[in-house]
Amino acid sequence: MADYDRRMGQEAVRPDMPEPASETLVVPAPPPKTVAAPPASVRAAKRDADAAKRRIAGTIAARGQKPWGDEPRQRESQPPPARIPDRGPDTPDRKTIKTARWWDAKGPRTIQLGPSGQAEFSGGFIALAFMIVAVAIVTAFVALPLVFVLGFVVLRFADKIIAPIGASLIDKALATRD
């Protein structure tokens, strides 16, 4: 590019390079940097900060490496487990359920379920509730009068439709009770 510029009549404007004194390149050493001493006030502030750090470190060491108090604290290895309040004098973790005839084909009956039976029982009823809601939404989009007819049929024949489902849920829960 420099050759092209020279042919076109454009020369770079630079100062002339000095002639080397010898064939070896001599690089001058940079001048030594002089560091001015900080003022006395800065030195005193730094000295005070260092002294404060040493005092704090000594105080922490004197307290047994516990900066929050003079007495060492003893910590438990694990927190105590959560406790469920008693549900009765003899059945601390059992739940009593009374069934009705319309949702339990073998009802009315009173049953006691342990934790795993309760989980099975509530999970089954939640699934049943979601299925009923899903069916209601689908039928509402298909035909709204069908929802009213289906609701009447369910209410009229609940002991023959819902009761066997409820009985099977209860029997499953009883089978898994503790």
- The rounded distance, in Å, linking the Cα atoms of 93 and 96 is 10
Asked whether residue 121 is domain-assigned, the answer is yes
- The rounded distance, in Å, linking the Cα atoms of 135 and 129 is 10
Q: What is the pLDDT of residues 121-150, one digit of tens each?
A: 888 889 989 999 998 888 778 777 777 888
Q: Which residues contact 105 (CB under 8 A, 6 or more apart)?
A: 159, 163, 164, 166, 167
Reported pTM: 0.34
Q: What is the pLDDT of residue 130?
A: 94
pLDDT < 50 stretches in the chain: 89
Q: What is the pLDDT of residues 106-115, one digit of tens each?
A: 878 888 888 8
Asked whether residue 16 is domain-assigned, the answer is no
Asked whether residue 154 is domain-assigned, the answer is yes
111 - beta bridge partners? Answer: 97
Q: What is the pLDDT of residue 5?
A: 84
Instruction: Show the domain range for 163.
Output: 95-175
Q: How many Cβ atoms sit within 10 Å of the Cβ of residue 169?
A: 20
Q: For every residue of 18-70, which 3-state class applies, written as one string?
A: CCCCCCCCCCCCCCCCCCCCCCHHHHHHHHHHHHHHHHHHHHHHHCCCCCCCC
Q: What is the pLDDT of residue 134?
A: 93
**What total number of domains does the chain contain?**
1
Helix (H) or strand (E) holding 123: helix 115-142
Q: What is the pLDDT of residue 151?
A: 83
Q: What is the pLDDT of residue 30?
A: 77
Q: What is the DSSP letter of 143?
A: -
Q: What is the DSSP letter of 105?
A: T
Q: What is the pLDDT of residue 175?
A: 82
